[in-house]
Structure 1
Amino acid sequence: MYRVVVIGGGWSGCAAAVAARKAGASVVLIEKTDLLLGLGNVGGIMRNNGRFTAAEENIALGASELFQITDSCSRHRNVDFPGHKHASLYDVMKVEPQVRRLLKDIGVEIHIMTRVIDVVTEMAELPEEKLKKYIKSLIVTNGTGLGQKNMEVQTIEGDVFIECTGSTGPYSLRQ
């Protein structure tokens, strides 16, 4: 069984974790904050404009359960307001715990408050190629940040790594 490590627990990371688990992989999801769904928790808007297409794509790619959750937690559906058409407004306080429960129920290992700080690479000889470098594992810290004393450092190995850190960008060492 392949071990898939998903970095980033926003909508795309959660969708990747669901799809990988359905495909039979062992899945680890790493999120640097204390909540899943990232910026999806900010406004609680789903299925509007570009998100409509993204939702339909994720459903087609195997993560329909995530959108069943948002639909069930929507207070308003098919709302048109300036800049948004056919939007659903969901209750952000209800969605994240249900998504977290879904991931745990299907067997996804979730690491929250965990930051990727480095990668471990190896060289491998592949057919028809000379040597190729590949990622073997991630080095992560648990807790609130790099400034902590006695910070726990851990290595997470995987066969496949999916980067889903999204629009908020990488962790900055200047914090």
Structure 2
Amino acid sequence: MAPEPEAGGGVSDAADSWGDNGLVGGMVGDGRYRMTHRLGRGGMAEVFAAEDVRLGRIVAVKLLRADLAEDPVSKARFTREAQSVAGLNHHAVVAVYDSGEDTVNGQTVPYIVMELVEGRTIRDLLVSAEAPPPEQALIIVSGVLEALAYSHQHGIVHRDIKPANVIITDTGAVKVMDFG
């Protein structure tokens, strides 16, 4: 999982609600997921790498931002994302493993536990390098279209497809994320 980068992401300081000091080393999911470091933040959430202590694997944990955690509309939207994407099982869609609510710094906050994908977003590739050659661009677009076709067959519309929500894994696979 590679959310929008922290620097230059256009997100206000209010979005930096949990920060590294607030959660790193902390637990969510009734003590199942131990936060190791923040991966990034987006418009509604912050994403942390975490250890699933029960299964011994590294995952990504997405937490609704603290400033939105008390907003019923934001909480409902976040929860809908978890429920809808959890039903998708496709190689080009970032997998959702778990979701729920937990108390974080005294607030009840929804969370989503997802596959941690090692790689770079299309946004990262476009900002830091030359555009991919046409052959690679076609492979990327094909992977995105495959993921979207699959989600549409299951009644789910992405609504925010953009370079920051498509990751190319270290092995070259295409993964679509952030169906919020």
Same-fold status (TM-score > 0.5): no
Determine which structure has the larger strand proportion and give its number.
1
**Which of the pair has more CA radius of gyration?**
1
Q: Could you say which structure has the greater relative contact order, defined with CA pairs below 8 angstroms and 6 or more residues apart?
A: 1
